[in-house]
Amino acid sequence: MWKKFWGILKMENNQEQLNNKEKYDQQRKDREQKRLNSDRVIKVKKVLKVILVLIVVFLAGHWIYLSIRHSNNNKSEPATNREVALRCTTDMATKFHIHPNLEIIANGQKQEISANIGIIFNCMNPLHTHDRSGLIHIESPEKRDFTLSDFFAVWGKTYNKNQILDYRVDANHIIRQTVNGQEVVDFENTILYDKDQIIISYEQKK
Higher pLDDT, 43 or 20: 43
Q: Coil, strand or helix: which one is 95? A: coil
Say yes or no to pLDDT of 103 above 80. yes
pLDDT at residue 5, as a whole number: 47
Q: Which residue has the higher pLDDT, 74 or 111?
A: 111
pLDDT: is 21 or 41 the higher one?
Answer: 41
The Cα–Cα gap between 50 and 140 comes to 53
The confidence band for 58, taking pLDDT boundaries of 50, 70 and 90, is: confident
Residue range 181-188: average pLDDT?
96
Nearest-5° angle of CA 92, CA 95, CA 101? Answer: 105
Q: Is the predicted pLDDT of residue 203 greater than 80, yes or no?
A: yes
Contact 166, 196 (CB under 8 A): no
How many Cα atoms sit within 13 Å of 124 on the Cβ side?
Answer: 18
| Cα separation, 141 vs 159, whole angstroms | 25
Q: Which residue has the higher pLDDT, 128 or 35?
A: 128
CA distance 188 to 102: 12
> Is 80 exceeded by the pLDDT of residue 36?
no
Sort 102 into a burial class: Cβ within 10 Å, 0-12 / 13-18 / 19+: buried
Q: pLDDT (tens digit, 9 = 90+) per residue, 110-149? A: 999 999 999 988 899 999 999 999 999 999 999 999 999 9
